[in-house]
Chains A and B, each alone.
Chain A
Amino acid sequence: MRRPRVQALVLTLALSVLAIVWLLPIVWVFVTSLKLTADIVRLPPEWVPWPVTAEHYQEVLFSSSRTARIGRAFANSLVIALGTVAIVVVTSAMAAYPLARLRFPGRDVVFTLLVGSLMIPNAVVLVPQYVLVQRLGWLSTYQGLIVPEAAMTFAFGVFLLRQFFLTMPGELEDAALIDGASPWQTFTRIVLPLSQPVLAALAIFAFRSAWNDFLWPLIAVNRPEMFPLPVALALLRSAYSSESYGPIMAGAALSALPLLVVFIVANQRIVEGVRVSGLKG
């Protein structure tokens, strides 16, 4: 064997070990969530949860106690994340299409404004956004979480989709327009079906940020039954004594689950979305 081969093998091996170590914190969350309460704090740390128990999941999902409403919070987060995805994908796609494909006055101004807004720190609009949502009567409602969340991701969505639309060959659209199709028909029947991969990437991106957002729902929701997962989890932690890692880790594991599934199914798609997001640099 030649030396470079050996080197490559050693490198791959070292990286694999590092990758396993890298996953340990989240593995530890899952392992803990499946252990009997008495086993959780036992030293040395046991990395195989045996005997296995589902009691912590049962407790956080179905217990009637006021704090452990993880089941409800999970459902809330799903509604919020899916609602955000729907709004972001529709509005961004509609806005990105003319910005990429049509010529009209104000196009560059609009696009520059949208891209410039990506630099606005979310923390800066926190207080006035609260005032606005309060005035609309939207505190502790789904729309009070969905709409601001969608507005936060909209500009990025436009950027991502415009980038993609620009690279699409125009012949099909031209043919459709010549055949008398309206711009709307061209958009929905030709452009959107051809854009499925990038639309999926945007959907996952929007889902991730809505599913994980913490600061805005912490402020905009004050009824416990409306908490999304991150807020419910943070409060779950202060509700239990620090030794009760079982239920807390069960909650944390549940919150990791949907994106873990999406991630395993669509690894490549997510990476593609992130990659394009970096191109603006």
Chain B
Amino acid sequence: MTRGRRRQTGTAYLFLAPGLLLFAAFRVYPLLEGLRLSFTNARLGRASYQFLGLANYTRLADDTRFHVSLWNTAFYTVASTLPILAVPLVLALALNRGALRTVLRGVFFFPFTLSVVTVGLAWLWLLDPVVGPFNYYLRALGVPARSWLADPATAMWAIIATTVWWVTGYYLVIYLAGLQDIPRELYEAAALDGAGGWRTFRSITLPLLRPVLLFVVVTHVIGSFQIFGQVFVLTSGGPGDATRTVVQHLYETAFQNFFQFGAASAMAWVLFAIIMVFSILQFRLLRGHTEY
């Protein structure tokens, strides 16, 4: 029996070997190596470096551009959470029982198959202040044209709108799956008790959708704190530093301006810590009671 057991263990790890090797070399090792680099003054193209202790981290405390990018990233994350939660949910509720469900779901999902650059280019053109169709139709409605992406008051909102358009389909599919899992009988019972639409939504749909909401929020927050592509294409972080984000700052610190791998790694770990804290908080807040 033990020989059989041992053989099975050997077999199992042989099956696992290629994947675990890939995983160890390109996920685990870089994660830990990044932590180590964050305590050094490593630079691109320089072979040797010294350990600086916490210097990279204390320097971040004085780096005002880092603060601005952190603030922008947090603002983006918070401001986009409600639309990202609500828009796909409303669509999912409307689509759940209706005709044409599969086709419409496909239509809303389609933008999610596009690369962030393609999405960015499409919206850049759409929002063009002079010849873009969006401003043209606004003018036709009597709303004055604006340079949405060049105005610090609206640039981040334009990025949020672009992102909502891009990812709504993904969350829509997740919500629809969650709605399908809610037992029909509960709705029938509610209908018998004479509960209206809103009442049913509040006391059946919303509570039972809680794990799905948790998934959507956590996924969205992890993604949002890493926002880069939309900003890179739409605004390059401008106007001024109005849409500069943490990953963009990290990218420029490591690969564009200063080639400081140590400082950039410290930023990465600060970002990691923030994301972890947010995720744990959300688990605490939303896990709650899902039993019924």
Closest Cβ of chain B to A238, distance in Å, is: 9
A256 touching B118, Cβ below 8 Å: yes
Q: What interface size band does chain B fall in?
A: 35 or more
Q: Which of A108-141 contact B (CB under 8 A)?
A: 110, 114, 117, 119-132
Task: Tally chain A residues at the interface, Cβ within 8 Å.
Answer: 98
The prevalent SS among residues of A at the interface is: helix
A233 touching B117, Cβ below 8 Å: yes
Contact with A along B252-292 (1 / 0, CB 8 A): 00110000010011001101100110010000000000000
B187 at the interface (CB under 8 A from A): no
Contact with B along A25-36 (1 / 0, CB 8 A): 110110010000
A127 touching B254, Cβ below 8 Å: yes
Q: Roughly how many angstroms separate A15 CA and B97 CA in the complex, as a whole number?
A: 12
A22 touching B121, Cβ below 8 Å: no
B178 at the interface (CB under 8 A from A): yes
Asked if A94 meets B106 with Cβ closer than 8 Å, knowing A22-B165, A126-B254, A151-B23, the reply is no
Contacts of A22 in B (CB 8 A): 107-108, 111, 165
Contacts of A32 in B (CB 8 A): 125
Residue ID in chain B nearest A101 by CB atoms: B12
B99 touching A12, Cβ below 8 Å: yes
A23 touching B110, Cβ below 8 Å: yes
A154 touching B19, Cβ below 8 Å: yes
B12 touching A98, Cβ below 8 Å: yes
Closest Cβ of chain A to B48, distance in Å, is: 14
B173 touching A271, Cβ below 8 Å: yes
A166 at the interface (CB under 8 A from B): no
Residue ID in chain B nearest A45 by CB atoms: B133
Contacts of B137 in A (CB 8 A): 45
| Contact of A214 (CB < 8 Å), options: B98, B113, B229 | B229
Which 10 A-B residue pairs are closest in the complex by CB-CB distance?
A281-B215, A151-B26, A212-B115, A98-B12, A278-B174, A95-B19, A91-B19, A128-B30, A128-B33, A125-B30
Interface residues in chain A, defined as those with a beta carbon under 8 Å from any beta carbon in chain B: 8, 11-12, 14-16, 19, 22-23, 25-26, 28-29, 32, 40-41, 43-45, 87, 90-92, 94-95, 97-99, 102-105, 107, 110, 114, 117, 119-132, 147-148, 150-152, 154-155, 158, 183, 187, 208, 211-215, 218-219, 229-231, 233-234, 237, 242-243, 245, 248-249, 251-252, 255-256, 259-260, 262-263, 267-268, 270-271, 274-275, 277-281
Listed A/B pairs (22) with beta-carbon separation below 8 Å: A11-B98, A12-B99, A22-B165, A29-B121, A29-B125, A91-B19, A94-B18, A98-B12, A102-B12, A104-B5, A107-B12, A110-B16, A120-B27, A123-B271, A127-B254, A128-B34, A132-B26, A255-B114, A259-B113, A270-B113, A274-B170, A281-B216
